[in-house]
Each structure stands twice: as C-alpha cells, then as structure tokens.
Structure 1
Amino acid sequence: MNNLLTDIAGVRVGHADDAALASGVTAVIFERPAVAAMDVRGGGPGTREGALLDLANTVEMIDAIALAGGSAFGLEAGGGVQAWLAEQGRGFAVRGAIIPIVPGAICFDLLNGGNKQWGRFAPYRDLGYAAAAAAAGTFAVGSAGAGLGAQTANFKGGLGSASAKTQGGVKVAALAVVNALGAVTVGDGPWFWAAPFEIDGEYGARGFPPSFTPDMLKMRIKGGPDATSVENTTLAVVVTDATLTKPQARRLAIIAQTGFARAIYPVHAPMDGDVVFAAATGEKPIDPLVGLTELGMVAANVVARAIARGVYTAAALPFPGALPAWRDRFG
C-alpha cells in the first residue's frame, strides 16, 4: 500500500499540467471497465457524462475519469483521454464502433494568476491526452495535474490521495482535487479538520488545537462574506476492489461525501461544485448491507485524508498575491 489511488489493482493515474497556465489535468485509467456512479453535493458543479452515470441509464461501466482545472473549458480534457483510449482500442462496443466512456469533472482556477490567454482553443484536450498517456502505478500529490492551480479559502489547494482496507481486506482508495470554497485547516493554524483520521503522520501529525476559539469556528471562504462567484470545487474519485452494482456504487459515493464534511469547513455550499465518483473493479464480493456500510465508512475516512493531504503537500503558485502553502507557514 502506497497510500495512493493506484493501490487498487488495475488502476493507473497520470498528470499533465502547465506551470505558466497554472492549471492541469489528471486522468484515472481503468485497465478493465469498472462499474461506476456519481454523487453531486455542491451547488455549482461542472461535469461530463454525468447523465450517463444516473442509475436509470443503461451504461454501467466506464474506462476512465478525467479531472481538470479550467472551469467549463476543462471539460474538453475528457475528449483527450477518450482519444488516447480509442487508440488503445478501449471502449463500449456498439456493433462495429468502439466508444471510450470517460466521465469527468472540473474545478475553477481561472483567476489564480496563470496565463489563461490561450487563443481560440483551450489546451485541456491536449493535456487530457498527455495525462492519459502518462498514467502509471505511482503519481505525484500536491501541486500536480488538476490540483496545480487549486486553492482553498486560506491556503494553496492541491491534489491528495489515500488508501485503506476494511477489516475483511477489501481495499478502498481516494484521489481528491481540493479547490474548496472553505478551509481545510482549523482557523489559520496548522491543524487539519481531518486530524482524527490521519494515519502515520501523513499530513503533519498536528492533531487538533488544545481548545476551539470562536475565531477558529468563524466562516472562512474565498472572497470573504461578499463572495458571489462559482469559483470552487472539491473533486474526488473513490475506487474499491469490491464487487458492486451501479446502485451500490452510488451509495458508496453518497457515504464517501461524508469525508468532505470531515475535512472542509464549510462545505457543499451554493458556490461549490463538489462531486464524488465511485468505481468498483469487482475483485472481492461483499455483504450488500453491513459490508457496504463498512466500505462506505472507510471510504469517507479515506476521502477526508486525501483532502488534507492535498493541502499539506501543495506548493504555492509563483505569482504576486498567491496564497501561501501550508508548508510555507508550518512546514
């Protein structure tokens, strides 16, 4: 176990990003199609193929997931991932046609200081292709891929990952892109809201503060109390090696959203675009009631850890007025 999404066998992750653009793409590639579903809690989501993942609809399995910065422009990243998969002969077969199934989601990073004057066409399709081609068994966390341009209310955001096992040995792992409206830390101190779930000092082992003050509990959001724009999102991909149906994968995504509430304060706001994708590779059967409940419980913990780790490992953007990284203050 490397504390990464790729601890699930058959899953690879690749990044492609541009330092001058201050944005990027992360591709999650499944070596075999995976059962998948999605849960949306934020009030301003940006998704691709979201309707396909609805439980009422026919296709149950996907080939990849594309996460990107760039707001709505970043939805083109899925086309790049799709192009790479098509070259590999991967996809949903419709008689003689092969169609790679690539849901995705985006976060808003258009105002982070990077150069977004890209001309007629945004670069996200090409970045998506490059991210898919780079997919491997290990990958960077922090300011990488779709997390390169991410920010929170008070510190630089980023991309984090974490993994765990249930008592029965079923694996579950998460990858999170943390561009939240709220804060991942308690106040402006070194403590993470996800402190109770930390394993092996993966985000600094600071625990909670000795006591909570009113200042720690006040609202910290991007733009302050007059914030009006939809500039925020936390995206998560949760993958398990359990055997799940599409409705069970949806339930896993719903329970895993609890991890957002354990790690971000406030969360699921009208100005957030929070999305969780849940996918199952189908290696291990589980009990559909108690087993799925335990899996969801562990998944929520893993999501919270991935969110905290994304902020803990991030590096500040090199632009005037950029938010500090957690490590700049407390590293």
Structure 2
Amino acid sequence: MIRLISFLVSLTLVAGLAHADPNFWKHEWPDTNFRKTSVANWKEILSGGPPKDGIPALSNPKFLRAKSERRIKGNEPVITVEMAGADPRAYPLRYLTWHEIVNDTVGGVPIAVTYCPLCNSGITFDRRTRKGTLTFGVTGKLRNSDMVMYDHETQSWWQQAIGTAIVGDLTGTKLNALPTWMESWDQFRKRNPDGLVMAQPDFGRRYGHNPYQGYDSSHRPFLYSGENPPHGIPPLARVVRVGNRAWPLTRIRDEGGIREAGVTLSWEAGQASALDTGVIAKGRDVGTVRVRNGQGRDVPHDVLFAFAFRAFWPNGKWMLAR
C-alpha cells in the first residue's frame, strides 16, 4: 500500500498542474479539433501523468501457441477474443496493464483490445467507423479516472469505458463493443489448447508485476471526484455491466450464478486480481464471469469498478439481491 500511495502521489503532483484546457494542450495536439466536444467542463479531464503515447499502445502483436507459453501463471487474467474464422486469442493483463491498448485484426475484423487499470475496465472494440478503420493510442489523460484514448487518423479523443468519442471531429461516434471476456490463463488454455496467446512485447517493462499494488482495496479511486456508488457499494468493488445494468460481482459469486434481465451470468473461481499484490499471479481470487443471452451466445459486457459505472451510467440500474 505504501508503494501505491507514493506512486499515486507522484502522479497527482504532475496531474494537478495540467487540466485539459485546449489552450494548454494544443501544442501537444495541434490536429485535434477542440471546438467540437461533448465534455461540458474541461476540468473533468486531467493528466494522469504520462504524456501522449507515454503509455505505448501496441499494434499487430506477435502470438504464440498456448502450449508454447511458459511465462504466464495459470491464474493470471487474460482478455479472451473468440471470433468466427480465427483461432481463439488471449491478451494477458500482464502486458495490457503496461500498454492499455492492442490494435489487432482477428478473423478479418480490426479490433482494439483495451484495458484501463484504474477502472478495471477491459473492453474489445471493432475499430471500423463511418470515417474508416481507426488505430488507437493512449492520450495520457483521465476522465473520472478512466483512460482517454485517441485515434491516429483524426486525433479525436475517446472515452474507453463507453467507447465514444468525446473531443474532436468524431465527437459522438460510438464504437461497437465485441463479446469478449476476462478469464484465467488456465481457463483459456484448457478450452483452447491450440489457441494463440499474445507474445511478450519488446519493451523494458516489469511484465507480470502490478504497478498499482493494493489499488483495488483502496477506499478512493485515483483522480476521481465524482459521487460514490449508491446502496453502500464500495467505490472499488467490481460490478458486471451489461448495457446500463450492473450486477455486483459478489452477488453473482454468492448466488452461484444469476439468470435475469434476459442474460445468464456465471461465476467460476480461478482468476487472480491484476490490481492486488505487486505480482499479479499472487493476487487474490476474484473469479471469472461469463455473460450469455437466452440462446447461449456470449454478450458484450465489462467487469469494472462500481465508481466507474456510477460516473458513466448515472441513471443506470443496480441489480442488487432480490
């Protein structure tokens, strides 16, 4: 916890100097159209510390066959992408924690696999839009503690949690979320022994370590000044969001799965938290959630912190115990 506090304090000192005022940022973003935005108050957007591309997104990563991977521990979380016409792929959080976005193409579909550690939000988007196929990077900015992405093609800024452009020419454009999910490496490779896993990137990072040690047991999110969740739900409790509904993960676990509102939510032990101890594989077991519709098909969803659901879905429905 001491390491986390020191890390966040150092970032806060930097962030406190730099609200996203267009007059301040235009030297770094000369091609961004700041006249077009859905953000009511620029003070909502803060510097998280790193500059533009200071957190380097990845594009066209290399892959290994699951049976050839030796670095990843069995309980480490991965984001799983299973699409028709392509081998299943696993994108380990040991890499996404340090890169946050992976631009890839699977089964002919250009995708962006995204992970915001400060919100625990892991969503995969289709990169195709009315302006063509986009390639995403990390702005280094946060809004409600959630990553603000940008596209290289128009330099518009995008809110990761909602997949929507909030600044620039593409303001209001929404990306389509794909039905992918977080699970443990063991769960992925047991189901897909011949599947693919993203190879370790060629960067000098402490892959497998968590730079946000103790974060998901903190009392308050980093750089968040919004309202806390209702019903006494802790801000950093995990909830499973499907559309504008959120189920507390603990409810799904304790009830052994839930079937309501047209979906089935299942829970299985075995996935470590990526935001607990300094080594991801030593994190406490938070389990794996799968969300399927009445036909048994996977449904787009997110397992994020409760404060982020409150911030981006203020009128959302909290699916509490019946």
- The structure carrying a bigger helix percent of its residues is 1
> TM-score normalized by structure 1?
0.29
- The structure carrying a bigger strand percent of its residues is 2
> TM-score normalized by structure 2?
0.30
